[in-house]
Amino acid sequence: MAQKKQLSSISFPAIGTGVLGFNKQEVAQIMMDTAVTFAKQNNVFEPTTGHFDSRDPRESTQPYIELSSAFDETLREARSWLCSVFYPVSKNFFTIRNNFIQHFGEHEFGKLLTFQTKFKVSIEMFFKDCCAGVNIHGAFRDVTAAVFEVEAMCCKVQEDFAKEEETDMGLNTSTSSARKPVDESNLTLKVEKVENRALKQVFELKKKQLDVSTSQRMYQRLPAQYCHLLTRVGFQREFAPPEVPVYGEGIYFSGSVDGAKKQWKGLADEAYLYFVEAQVLTGKSTHGSPDLIVPPVMPSGDPITLYDSVKGGVDTYVIFNGHQALPEYLTEGRHTLQDRFIIEAWSGWREIEFRHVCFTFYIVLIGYGFVSFSASVSKNYGFTL
């Protein structure tokens, strides 16, 4: 109807998120996917000519990007990512770092080959120190186009992974609740409580399985792009591998915020720091080693009786099953000029948490040479086209 009447805009409600109880993000994703599919099939987003008006991208022949979000933090992260793409350090080279590249299959590798031909770029994958990524070489315009395509693919793989994890937990839809601010008056530290009924149930079952009655309060530092996935599916190895996995290829935690900051020094160039506080079931533990992909065998000699975790350093523990940890709080803080985490206003808190930086917003690019599209971004810094 909108196309028939040549309407320039249309809005519709998030049907099903009220009484029916459907997950808001899932509904938003379906709405955006449907709109984008329709736009592609009907060539809706065509560049127009005329006087440039920065308030209305449809009146401009120049590149125009519009970001909208309920949270300032999400806009900040989105703006930072877009600037890194459009104004890279090297115009002929771009690196995408995303550990879910390890989940690429035949379909994804085939698309990478297609992108090389389509955009006349060179695409090289790498895996080093438990971190995966893609290097893209070529002319600036072509590299930028390829970056959007590869990021979209990463986003799709991430979402497929999350849905598979939720299915394994017996879920048809996500059971994570909206994060609740702990102290809105705190201007230097943003703390939110994480709640997910399914993760808590699985954690309690794991506690019984390991026959442990207590857990340890521990911390992990995350890249911003994985914060939302954490609240949906819990801790995963792909989210935050340490710079050097000296105690095994598992999920690392530190007994203190400062320890977590040192453990993940590779994130030091980020302006904002994101930490998650969790209850961790360390159980029976022994010293770790770099070659471990599961805990070592207990001294009893039974090959199926393993330690529950490994440890090393002053306060580092490594688990090899994400269900042994329950995220409770997410915290966002900012580096000071001395590269120290701002914690003066945090003295009264035992818990810390990360701000909602994993988000969904809308982007419209009108009149750009290589691409015109509407997209939903779900903070793996990737686009769903």
Write out pLDDT tens, residues 137-185. 999 999 999 999 999 999 999 999 999 998 888 776 666 666 666 665 5
| Residue (of 373, 143, 58) closest to 383 by Cα position | 373
Q: Residue 325: in which H helix or E strand, if any?
A: strand 325-334
Write out pLDDT tens, residues 27-74. 877 887 777 777 667 765 443 333 334 445 455 556 667 777 655 666
Contact 78, 67 (CB under 8 A): yes
Count the helix, strand and coil residues of the chain and give each as a percent rounded to the nearest 5: 30, 20, 45
Write out pLDDT tens, residues 286-299. 999 999 999 999 99
| Domain ranges within the chain, ordered by starting residue | 1-44, 45-168+360-384, 180-346
In terms of C-beta density within 10 A (0-12 exposed, 13-18 middle, 19 or more buried), how is residue 216 classed?
middle
- Kindly calculate the radius of gyration of the chain based on its CA atoms and give it in whole angstroms: 22
Average pLDDT, whole number, for the chain?
Answer: 77
Which tokens go with 267? 């994130």
CATH numeric code, 180-346:
3.90.228.10
The pTM is what? 0.69
Average pLDDT of span 7-24: 76
Bridge partners, residue 191, by sequence: 331
The more confident residue out of 16 and 254 is: 254
Per DSSP, the three-state class of 253 is strand
Question: How many whole angstroms separate alpha carbon 155 and alpha carbon 167?
Answer: 18
Which tokens go with 188? 């230097």
Question: How many whole angstroms separate alpha carbon 356 and alpha carbon 50?
Answer: 39
Write out pLDDT tens, residues 191-207. 889 999 999 999 999 99
Least confident window among 156-165, 300-309, 316-325, 374-383: 374-383
Angstrom distances, CA of residue 355 to CA of 190, 192, 254, 276: 6, 6, 20, 10
Contact 121, 136 (CB under 8 A): yes
> Would strands 285-287 and 309-312 be described as parallel, antiparallel, or unpaired?
parallel
> From edge to edge, which strands make up the β-sheet containing 131-137?
93-97, 131-137, 122-128
DSSP state at residue 137:
E
Q: Residue 227: in which H helix or E strand, if any?
A: helix 227-233
What contacts 290, CB < 8 A, 6 or more positions away? 245, 246, 247, 248
Question: How many whole angstroms separate alpha carbon 270 and alpha carbon 275?
Answer: 13
